[in-house]
Amino acid sequence: MKGRVLLSWVVLIVFLWAGKEMVVAQSTGTKAPGTWVSSINIQNIGTEEATVVLNFYDASGNPVPPSPYTVTPPIPAGGSRSLYVPTQIPGLSNGQYSVIVSSNQPLQVVVNSSSTNPSTAGAYMGIQASQVGKTLYFPGLYKNYYGFYSQIVLQNVEETDATVTIKFYYQRTGQEAVTVGPFTIPKTSSRVFALGDLAAVPSGNVNGLLSAVVTSDKNLAGIANIWSSAYYGEYSDYNAYISGSTVVYAPALYKNYYGFVSSLTVQNLSNENADIRITYSNGVTETKTLLPFQAFEYYQPANPLLPSGNTNGVFSAKIESLNGKPIVVLVNIENKSKGLLASYNGPSDATTSTSCPVVLKAFYGWFSAQTVQNVGTEPTNITITYASGQSKTFNNVPPNGTVNIIELANAGSVLPDGSSVSAVITSSGQPIVAVVQENSDTRYVSTPGDYLLAYTCVAK
């Protein structure tokens, strides 16, 4: 019906920066260093134009102007819109916010954030209303682990206060390390739990490698941040999990590939042991039994059987729970020569179509690379179709093989310079998964820093 706005789809943005120095002392503030700004990248995956409304909330859960803010013009079906918060949300003061995005059409949303002093960046997927829960899982957390630190950001999505506890586990042994809390998160508000502020949480190169399970009496949404002062400063984000799967994928893994390396962390979400197997795209396997709720990190350069170097050092993996226990996967990517860091959630929903809310070509110095993994049993043709109308097809991608779509002119990108658009990636018959990495070589040349960020495309 024309003129009617049915706010049927809701996406939560757990933490958003609108241009503010974020090194703050209060418990609700982030400890990740830098002066931060964010962009909200919205993809309409529906069949009609989307009327999108943004509501901003401060750390106490109070709505702030210009809420409610209607994105204009509406976003056409299959289209996208990127909103740079400091300049394109009129009337919003500098600060840190959580956001609820509502629409009459289904959406996918990615939040990109970047800082100065140090120059770092990170990305995470907006959390659908169906992705909140009373138990959240964080596979990879760090407290002074070779200089890496983490914080958990939780948003109470209900209208009454939430009581929250956080149980940490040692990754190496799987034993419980400590339980902290209970904490109170006021209604509709968000709170940051920096591991460096939690004195009871163990620290260091041995004990500071952790995972966590968050429990609450109210529904929560959550993300985790990771950072280090190494190089020029490093930073990444990933989404919390509320459930797991028996099969998960890692489309982009590296071993000394143009300076890139990766680690793959698997977490058991069950209160029973999980027997897991990792099968890399070259056929190499690793197996382990994870204790209840244990996470374990596999560092790809430490496996001598994996390929290495600028030609062969990029590959994928399939991760299985052999005895049916739910698992989740976190992948961290680091460039050891430049000091770049990014994280992505291992996808488990494989279909013949996946949505990527933002891809870039020469956009204020940024470009993206979409890595697509054929997780089926037969070769397949993979096509990327951009919201701006262009498309490109890659034929006969083998089972467990990948294609890397790099948005640079010298890599064959079909996008015009200055593009910031969404994309849909489809297969001619086999299931696929995909992740997107964004980077800025040009910014690195002028101001060295961590300009790498990543997110996982969503099964459509």
Kindly indicate the confidence band of residue 460, based on its pLDDT and cuts at 50, 70 and 90: confident
Kindly indicate the confidence band of residue 13, based on its pLDDT and cuts at 50, 70 and 90: low
**What local confidence, expressed as pLDDT, does residue 9 receive?**
55
Instruction: Give the mean pLDDT of the chain.
Output: 90
Q: 14, 221 in Cβ contact below 8 A?
A: yes
Of the options 3.40.50.300, 2.60.290.11, 3.40.50.620, 2.60.40.2230, the CATH number for the domain spanning 247-345 = 2.60.290.11
Q: 146, 157 in Cβ contact below 8 A?
A: no
**What local confidence, expressed as pLDDT, does residue 29 receive?**
60
pLDDT in tens, 171-191: 999 999 999 999 999 888 888
How do the domains of the chain map onto residue ranges?
9-129, 247-345, 353-459
Q: What is the mean pLDDT of residues 49-57?
A: 91
Residue appearing with tokens 């020469």:
362
The answer, yes or no, to whether residue 4 has pLDDT greater than 80, is no
Instruction: Return the percent helix, strand and coil in the chain, to nearest 5.
Output: 5, 60, 35
Rounded CA gap, 6 and 8, in Å? 6
The answer, yes or no, to whether residue 387 has pLDDT greater than 70, is yes
Q: What is the mean pLDDT of residues 10-17?
A: 52
pLDDT in tens, 194-205: 999 999 999 999
The DSSP call for residue 131 is G
**What local confidence, expressed as pLDDT, does residue 16 receive?**
56
Kindly indicate the confidence band of residue 336, based on its pLDDT and cuts at 50, 70 and 90: confident
Kindly indicate the confidence band of residue 57, based on its pLDDT and cuts at 50, 70 and 90: confident
| Percent of the chain scoring above 90 in pLDDT | 79
pLDDT in tens, 242-275: 999 999 999 999 999 999 999 999 999 999 999 9
The answer, yes or no, to whether residue 62 has pLDDT greater than 70, is yes
CATH 3.30.1330.10 fits domain 9-129: no
353-459 has which CATH code?
2.60.290.11
**What local confidence, expressed as pLDDT, does residue 32 receive?**
80
The answer, yes or no, to whether residue 361 has pLDDT greater than 70, is yes
Rounded CA gap, 168 and 400, in Å? 34
Residue appearing with tokens 């390390």:
177
Question: Cα torsion at 96, 98, 104, 109 (round to 10°)?
Answer: 80
Nearest-5° angle of CA 295, CA 435, CA 420? 140
Strand partners, 83: 40
Q: What is the mean pLDDT of residues 31-59?
A: 88
Q: What is the mean pLDDT of residues 297-319?
A: 95
Q: Do domains 9-129 and 247-345 have the same CATH topology?
A: yes
Q: What is the mean pLDDT of residues 225-234?
A: 94
Phi, psi of 178 (to 5 degrees): -170, 150
The answer, yes or no, to whether residue 8 has pLDDT greater than 60, is no
Q: Choose the weakest-confidence range: 28-42, 167-181, 351-365, 369-383.
A: 28-42
